[in-house]
A and B are shown apart, each in its own frame.
Chain A
C-alpha cells in the first residue's frame, strides 16, 4: 500500500501545472500587448477576459467533477494533472479504465489502486495516450494556419474586386454572380463552428446515454436546459442591443448557461421523478 496523496506527488503535479499556467500567462500577456499595439479597444480586450472567465467557471466545475470521479481509484494527483494538461473529460475516464484493466484489475475506476507499479503504469498509459497532438502540432499547425489565412485573404480580395465591379454596374442590371471557391472561404469558419456546436445541440435533443447512468442522455432535463439557455441568451442579446447596454454583452452567454443549469436543478427537484429522469433514447 502506498500513499497516493503524499506531499511528494503533489509537488510533482504542482510543477507540471505551474508550467502550464506560465505558458497561458505568457500568451495572454503577448496577445494583450499586441492587441493594444494594433489599436484594439481596451474594453474589447477586457470583455474577452471577463466573458471567458465567467463562461469557464461552470464548465471548469464539471471538469473538477471528473477529477473527483477518478479520485477513488487514482487519488487526486494523476487526474488533476491529466485534466490540467491536454486532457479532456471523455478521454481521461476511458484511458484510466483501459489502463487499469491492462494491469489485470477488474474493478475499473471505482476502487483504490494499492499497487504503486499499477499506479505508475496508469500514469504512463494516460500520458502517452493523449500526447500525440503535441507531437504533430509543431510541424503542422503553422502550414495549416497559413493555408487557411491565405485562402481567406484571397477570398477577401475577390469580394472587394466583385463589389467594386458591381458598383460600376447599374442597379437594374442583375449581373450573374461569380461564386468562386475563394469567395466561399467567408462561410467556412461559421460552418465549422456550426458543425461543432450543432453536434452537442443535436446530441442534447436526441442522443442516447448509457442504460445504467441517469441523466447522461437526451431527455426532459437536457431539452429543458438547452431551451432555457437558448431563450435566455437570445432575450438578453436583444435587450442589450435594444437598450444599448454594452456592459451586458460579455455576460449574455455566461448568464444563459447558468440559467440553463439553474432550471435543470429546479426541474429535477420539482418535477415528478419519472418525468425528471426521463431520457427518450435510454
Chain B
C-alpha cells in the first residue's frame, strides 16, 4: 500500500471515528433538551399525546431521514456528512456551501482534497448560521419581526431559494450542461402535472432521473470527449 493510500485510509477512518462519537453525543445532548425543559418546568407531558403528535410526524420524517442519509452522504463527504446531519439545514445551506466551495477549489467531491474543502465549508456554514441565529435571537429579538416582515425586505427573504440555487446552478449547469438539461426538463414536466409537489420532494425523483439520464448518455457515448475536454 502506498504512503498516500495509508494516509488517506487513516484520515477517513479518523474522521468516521470522530463522526460516530460526535453524532451519538449530539443525539444524547439533543434528547436531553426536552428532558431538561420538563425538569426545569416541573411538568411531564402525557405520553399518549406525545405519541399522537409523533404519529403525524414519524412516518414521513423518519423515512425522509433514511433517504437523505443514503442520497446526501456521497455528496457531503465523510466529515461533511456528520457535521451536516447534526447541524441541519442540509439542502438549503450545507450542501450548497460544500458544492460551491468544491467548485471554487476545483476539486472532486470523491477526492480527499474534496473531503477537506467540503468539511471546511460545512463547518464554516454551521458556525456562521449558529452565530447569526444566536445574535438574532439574543440581541435583536424585539426588532426581528419588523426586520424580516418589513414590506421593503420581505420579498428578499421570500426569494432566498431561487437566488441561492440560481447562483449555485449557474456555474454547475454551464460546466455540466450535457447532463443537466434532461433532468431539469423531466422535473419541469413533473411540475406541470404535480405543481404542488414541492422542491424537497422533487429532489428524490430528480436525483434518480439525473443519474439515470447521465448513465444512458454515458452508455451511448454522448458524454465522451467533449465533457472531458472541459476539464
Number of interface residues of B (CB under 8 A): 160
Contacting A at CB under 8 A, from B71-103, are 71, 73-75, 77-79, 81-83, 85-93, 95-97, 99-101
How far apart sit A199 and B100, CA to CA, in the bound complex (Å)?
17
| CB-CB under 8 A for A250 and B153, given A35-B116, A145-B12 | no
Among A58, A149, A194, A268, point to the contact of B172 (Cβ < 8 A).
Answer: A194
Q: Let me know if A47 and B105 touch, CB within 8 A.
A: yes
Q: Which residues of A contact B74 (CB under 8 A)?
A: 144-145, 148, 188-189, 192
| CB-CB under 8 A for A53 and B132, given A88-B92, A102-B52 | no
Q: Let me know if A134 and B23 touch, CB within 8 A.
A: yes
Among A56, A68, A90, A237, point to the contact of B148 (Cβ < 8 A).
Answer: A68
The 3 closest A-B pairs by CB, nearest first: A195-B207, A260-B163, A121-B45
Q: Let me know if A260 and B159 touch, CB within 8 A.
A: yes
A109 proximal to B (CB < 8 A)? no
Among B42, B66, B157, B175, point to the contact of A136 (Cβ < 8 A).
Answer: B66
- Nearest opposing residue in chain A for B38, CB measure: A120
Q: Let me know if B155 and A267 touch, CB within 8 A.
A: yes
**Other A-B pairs, 4, CB within 8 Å; known A118-B45, A129-B53, A187-B215:** A67-B133, A141-B19, A229-B163, A234-B171
Q: Let me know if A121 and B49 touch, CB within 8 A.
A: yes
Q: Which residues of A contact B69 (CB under 8 A)?
A: 133, 136-137, 140-141, 144
Q: Let me know if A56 and B125 touch, CB within 8 A.
A: yes
How far apart sit A8 and B151, CA to CA, in the bound complex (Å)?
35
- Nearest opposing residue in chain B for A78, CB measure: B37
Q: Let me know if A89 and B101 touch, CB within 8 A.
A: no
Instruction: Show 21 residue pairs from A and B whose CB-CB distance is below 8 angstroms, ordered by the A residue.
Output: A19-B26, A25-B123, A38-B113, A52-B128, A57-B128, A58-B160, A62-B92, A63-B129, A64-B136, A76-B137, A127-B31, A129-B62, A144-B69, A152-B110, A204-B161, A215-B158, A226-B166, A233-B170, A253-B171, A265-B152, A269-B152
Encode A105-148 as 1/0 by CB contact (under 8 A) with B: 00000000000111111111101111111111110111011101
Among A86, A187, A201, A268, point to the contact of B165 (Cβ < 8 A).
Answer: A201
A239 proximal to B (CB < 8 A)? no
Q: Let me know if A129 and B58 touch, CB within 8 A.
A: yes
A129 to chain B, nearest CB (A): 4
